[in-house]
Structure 1
Amino acid sequence: MSAFSDALNVTAAGLKAQATRLRLVSENIANADTPGFRRKSAPFKLEQGEGTLDLVKTGRVQFDRSDLELIYDPSHPLADESGHYEGSNVELVIEIADAREAQRSYEANLKMFDQTRQMSSSLMELLRR
């Protein structure tokens, strides 16, 4: 394989991994007020690609095992006899920070993909001469 296709494969894998991360962050934010919801995340891991090429992939989705927030609302249908129910363990500040980091990483991979494509086009143009 050429260096160009290797670079495109690496950046495409990075784009896919960051897109998965953004999807999970979006799900976490959407369910921040859902009682009993646990924050989701997916760890990154390296997988062997073609030849000696390592590609980043996302692992299995994991649920945050930290304690759920206890909310006092005796009128809530899920409230126990003391008037409490379990909320979610999603913290919006953390999710926003994760979303920004994933967005910037996605943009960096996209820029690398575009640069590789432009270099490949320039090389093809030079070879035509």
Structure 2
Amino acid sequence: MRTLCASTLIGEFFVVAFAGLVAMKSDDVSMTAVWTVCGVAMLFSLLLCGMITRRGGIPLGWALQIALIASGFVVPAMFFLGVLFAALWWASVHYGRRIDEAKARWAAQSEAQAQ
């Protein structure tokens, strides 16, 4: 699960950076506000890569997905990209857990055969 979720979060890191570049052109939001929010979101996505398997890591990832969708109010394309990354996040968590379970079963079978 960790690899799939971390890949999604790294992708979000770059999407947030590019969204910041787009938001910079808006007259409604100051450049300082844009890069403060984007910087925090980018740092949060990187920190989450290491917290995925810890308690609360997955819910924090969902919070980031909600924030990414909400950023569509500043950069309208982020509504689409936010929903896309939320779907990727769901798939990463769902299928990552299934892969982890299959790996655990395989390791248990290998250990039983070795004995």
- Normalised by the shorter chain, which TM-score bucket? 0.3 to 0.5
- Higher-helix-fraction structure: 2
Larger radius of gyration: 1
- Higher-strand-fraction structure: 1
TM-score, L = length of structure 1: 0.37
TM-score, L = length of structure 2: 0.40
